[in-house]
C-alpha cells in the first residue's frame, strides 16, 4: 500500500480536491493500493469542503461532499509514504514541526521534479467558481503526472 497525504491551509479547498481526485483516478486505473488522505495546517476541524470545491469535483465525476477538514495528525504523517503540499509555507511548516518526516515532504507542483516559481498552487478560497475551476485544472495536471510514478 502507498500512503499519500495532501496538505493545504484549511483542508477545505485544494487538499480535499487533490485527495478526491487521486482516489478517483487511481480507482479508475485499478489502483487499489493507494491510501489517500488530506489535512490542513490551520487546525480547522470538521468543516466541509467549500461549495465551489464540491461543485468543481462533482462536475468532474466525483463527490467530496462527505469530506470534513482535519488538522495535522502526527501519527498519520509519520506512516505516510509521501506528503504533498500546495505551497512552500505548508512544506516549511511541516519540516519545522515534523522534522523526522522531512525526506517525504514535497510540493505537489514539483514532486519529483525540481521546484520552479510555478510550483505553488494558489489558494482559491474566497474567489469565484472560475478560480476554483482553474485551480482544479492545475491539480488535475499534477495528479495525472504523478499517478504513474506512485
- Looking up residue 90, the CATH number of its domain turns out to be 3.40.50.2300
Angstrom distance (rounded) from CA 113 to CA 107: 10
Domain assignment of residue 145, given as a range: 2-149
Tens digits of pLDDT across the chain (150 residues): 999 999 999 999 999 999 999 999 999 999 999 999 999 999 889 999 999 999 999 999 999 999 999 999 999 999 999 999 999 999 999 999 999 999 999 999 999 988 888 899 999 999 999 999 999 999 999 999 999 999
Here the cell at position 58 is 462533482
Give the model's pLDDT for residue 8: 98
**Residues 70, 38: contact at Cβ < 8 Å?**
yes
For the sheet with 34-40, list strands across it: 34-40, 2-8, 82-85, 105-107
Catalytic residues: 8, 14, 123
Give the predicted TM-score (pTM) of the model.
Answer: 0.96
Give the model's pLDDT for residue 114: 83
**Domain total for the chain?**
1
Give the model's pLDDT for residue 63: 98
Beta-strand runs (E) in 44-91:
82-85
Here the cell at position 49 is 469542503
Give the model's pLDDT for residue 68: 98
Among 111, 136, 146, residue whose Cα is nearest residue 15: 136
Give the model's pLDDT for residue 43: 84
Amino acid at each position: 500500500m502507498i500512503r499519500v497525504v495532501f496538505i493545504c491551509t484549511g483542508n477545505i479547498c485544494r487538499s480535499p480536491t487533490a485527495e478526491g481526485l487521486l482516489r478517483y483516478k487511481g480507482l479508475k486505473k485499478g489502483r487499489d493500493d493507494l491510501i489517500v488522505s488530506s489535512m490542513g495546517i490551520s487546525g480547522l476541524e470538521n468543516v466541509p469542503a467549500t461549495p465551489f470545491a464540491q461543485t468543481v469535483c462533482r462536475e468532474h465525476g466525483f463527490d467530496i461532499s462527505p469530506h470534513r477538514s482535519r488538522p495535522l495528525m502526527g501519527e498519520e504523517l509519520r506512516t505516510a509514504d509521501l506528503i504533498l503540499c500546495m505551497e512552500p509555507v505548508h512544506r516549511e511548516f511541516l519540516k519545522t514541526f515534523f522534522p523526522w518526516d522531512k525526506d517525504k515532504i514535497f510540493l505537489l507542483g514539483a514532486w519529483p521534479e525540481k521546484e520552479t516559481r510555478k510550483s505553488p498552487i494558489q489558494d482559491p478560497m474566497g474567489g469565484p467558481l472560475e478560480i476554483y475551476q482553474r485551480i482544479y485544472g492545475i491539480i488535475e495536471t499534477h495528479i495525472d503526472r504523478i499517478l504513474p510514478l506512485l
